[in-house]
C-alpha cells in the first residue's frame, strides 16, 4: 500500500511488507538521531546497536518477501559483527574511564587542529 512492496502470507492473512520497512526506517532514524545528539559515549554505542537492529529487520523482511536466504545470512553476519564491535568499543570505553572520569564525549577532543 504505502511502498508498493508486495505482501506476505502469514497464516491466513496478508501483511504488507512496507510496514516492516517503514518501521525499520523509523528505528534507524531514531538511532541516528541518538548518535548525533547524545553525549554519553555508552549511549552512543547503544544507539549504534539500535541502527544495526533496524537494518537486520529490513534484511529479514526482504528475505521473506523474496523467499531467499541471503538476507537472513547477512542479518546473522551483521549480528556477529555488531557483537564484535560492541565488545571492542566497550573495552576502549572502559580503558578511557579508567584514566579519566568521562561523562561527556566532547571532553575527548585532544586530537584537534
Q: How far is the CB of 96 from another protein (least distance, A)?
A: 10
Phi, psi of 14 (to 5 degrees): -110, 120
How many residues sit in the footprint of another protein (CB under 8 A)? 86
Cβ burial 17-47 (10 Å sphere, 16+ → b, else e): bbebbeebeebbeebeebbeeeeebeebbeb
Is residue 7 involved in binding another protein (CB under 8 A)? no
**Helix, strand or coil, per DSSP, at residue 18:** helix
Q: How far is the CB of 79 from another protein (least distance, A)?
A: 6
Q: How far is the CB of 15 from another protein (least distance, A)?
A: 6
Task: Read off the C-alpha cell for 83.
Answer: 557483537
Please, are residues 1 and 58 in contact by the beta-carbon 8 Å criterion? no
Is residue 73 involved in binding another protein (CB under 8 A)? yes
Which of 1, 7, 75, 100 is the binder for another protein (CB under 8 A)?
A: 75
Residues 33-72 that bind another protein (CB under 8 A): 33-40, 42-47, 49-50, 53, 56-57, 60-61, 63-70, 72
Is residue 90 involved in binding another protein (CB under 8 A)? yes
Amino acid at each position: 500500500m504505502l511502498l508498493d512492496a508486495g505482501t506476505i502470507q502469514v497464516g491466513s492473512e496478508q501483511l504488507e511488507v512496507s510496514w516492516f520497512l517503514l518501521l525499520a526506517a523509523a528505528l534507524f532514524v531514531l538511532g541516528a538521531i541518538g548518535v548525533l545528539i547524545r553525549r554519553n559515549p555508552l549511549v552512543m554505542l547503544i544507539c549504534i546497536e539500535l541502527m544495526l537492529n533496524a537494518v537486520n529487520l529490513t534484511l529479514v523482511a526482504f528475505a521473506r518477501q523474496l523467499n531467499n536466504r541471503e538476507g537472513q545470512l547477512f542479518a546473522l553476519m551483521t549480528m556477529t559483527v555488531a557483537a564484535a564491535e560492541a565488545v571492542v568499543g566497550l573495552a576502549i570505553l572502559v580503558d578511557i574511564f579508567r584514566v579519566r572520569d568521562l561523562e561527556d564525549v566532547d571532553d575527548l577532543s585532544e586530537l584537534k587542529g
